[in-house]
Amino acid sequence: MASSNFIDYVKINCRSGAGGAGSVHFRREKHTPKGGPDGGDGGRGGHIILRGNSQLWTLLHLKYRKHIKAGNGVAGEGGRRSGAQGEDIILDVPLGTIARNPETSEKIVEITEEGQEIILFPGGRGGMGNDHFKTPTQQAPDYAQPGEPGQEEWVVLELKLLADVGLVGFPNAGKSTLLSVLSAARPEIADYPFTTLVPNLGVVAYRDYKSFVMADIPGIIEGASQGKGLGLRFLRHIERNSILLFLIPATSENIRQEYNTLLNELREFNPELMDKTRMLAITKIDLVDEETRVKLESDLPKKLPVVYISAVSQRGLDELKDVIWHNLTSIEPV
C-alpha cells in the first residue's frame, strides 16, 4: 500500500439523531364519540456506532468524511403508532482503533475484536405520546413529550496496529527486508535511512499451518520519544505488539549501546513497554566472519533471547520463527 494511504489518525464530527416527538392525538371514530387519547411515541434517534473490521488496516476511508450524521427519529402518530427509528450510522474501523476526546485525550471506547460494536454516541430518546399520560382524573391530556436531542461532538480516531511481533530498530537495520522474506508483504526497501515511512504488516507462516502477524515499524532514532525523526508518530503502534523483536546489524560498532538506546526511547514513550517480552536478532550476519561473530557475543545484553540471522541469505530464519513461536505461546493471556 502506498505511503500516502496509511492513515492512523482522523478527527471527525459526529452527530447522533434526535428523537421524534410524541403525538397528541385523540381517537375519533363514528360510534366512539369519546375515544380518548391514543397518541403514539416518537422514534429513537440514530446511533453512531463503531464496528471492528479485520479487513481494514488504516483509517483512510474516514479521512474525507469529516461530518457523520445519523438519522432523526420520526414523530409518533395517532392510533398508538410509534414513529420510525432514525437510521444508525455504522463506522467500520480496523482492530486496534481508539476513540478519544480531542480536548482531553481521554479514551472513550476501544475496538479490538472482529465484529465488535460499540455505540459511540447514542441517539436521542423518542418522546412519549399523550396516551401515556391519561389517568382517571386526567382523561384527555393534550400534551406529549418532545424527543430528546442527539449528541454532537468532535472525536479523534487513533489506530494502534495489532500484531504479534513488532520489529524495533534503527533505520537500515533490515526490518523491511526481514518482513519481505518472512511474509508476502512487499515494503519499500532501499539503502538509505527512513525508507520505511509507514508501518507494514505481514503474516508469517509457521509449521502445521500456524501463523503470526509481524509489524515493521519505521526506524527509531535517539530522541524519538521527544519528537525527533519519525519514531514519535509510530511509537504507539509498538504498544499493541505481544513481542518486541529488536533488530541490530552485526556491523554495528556497539550492539549493547544501540540496544540500550532503543530501550530507553521506548521507556521514555511508555514505561509499560518494559513489561513486554523482548528478543534480539543480530541481522546481516552474512557480512561478518565467524571470528567477528564470537567477539559480538561478549557485547550482547544478558538474559535476552538472541538469534543470528541474515534475511538476504535466509540464514537463521527458521530458528528465529521457532523462538518467536515459543515465546508467543508462553505469553499468558491478559
Alpha-carbon dihedral sign for residues 165, 171, 176, 182? negative
Report d(CA 88, CA 16) in Å as an integer.
8
Read off the pLDDT band of 67 (50, 70, 90). Answer: very high
Provide, rounded to the nearest whole percent, the portion of the chain with pLDDT above 90.
30
Better-predicted residue by pLDDT, 196 or 315: 315
* Residue 300 near residue 306 (C-beta atoms within 8 A): yes
Read off the pLDDT band of 1 (50, 70, 90). Answer: very low
Question: In sequence order, what are the residues at sequence separation of 6 or more whose Cβ sits closer than 8 angstroms to the Cβ of residue 49?
Answer: 88, 89, 90, 91, 117, 118, 119, 120
The cell for 123 is: 441517539
The answer to whether residue 230 scores a pLDDT higher than 60 is no
Please report the domains of the chain, with CATH numbers, ordered by start residue: 9-159 (2.70.210.12), 165-330 (3.40.50.300)
SS3 label, residue 319 = helix
Annotated binding site for GTP: 169-176, 194-198, 216-219, 283-286, 310-312
The answer to whether residue 184 scores a pLDDT higher than 80 is no
Query: In degrees rounded to 5, what are phi and psi of residue 221?
Result: -120, 165
Q: HSE on the CB side for 188, CA within 13 Å?
A: 15
Residue among 256, 264, 261, 262 nearest 298 (CA): 256
Q: Which of 3-7, 178-182, 321-325 has the lowest mean pLDDT?
A: 3-7
Annotated binding site for Mg(2+): 176, 196
pLDDT in tens, 97-124: 999 999 998 999 999 899 999 999 999 9
What local confidence, expressed as pLDDT, does residue 191 receive?
53
Annotated binding site: 169-176, 194-198, 216-219, 283-286, 310-312
Question: Residues 241-272, buried b or exposed e (16+ Cβ, 10 A)?
Answer: bbbbbbbbbbebeebeebbebbbebbeebeee
pLDDT in tens, 190-208: 454 454 556 777 888 888 8
What local confidence, expressed as pLDDT, does residue 150 receive?
94
Report d(CA 185, CA 202) in Å as an integer.
5
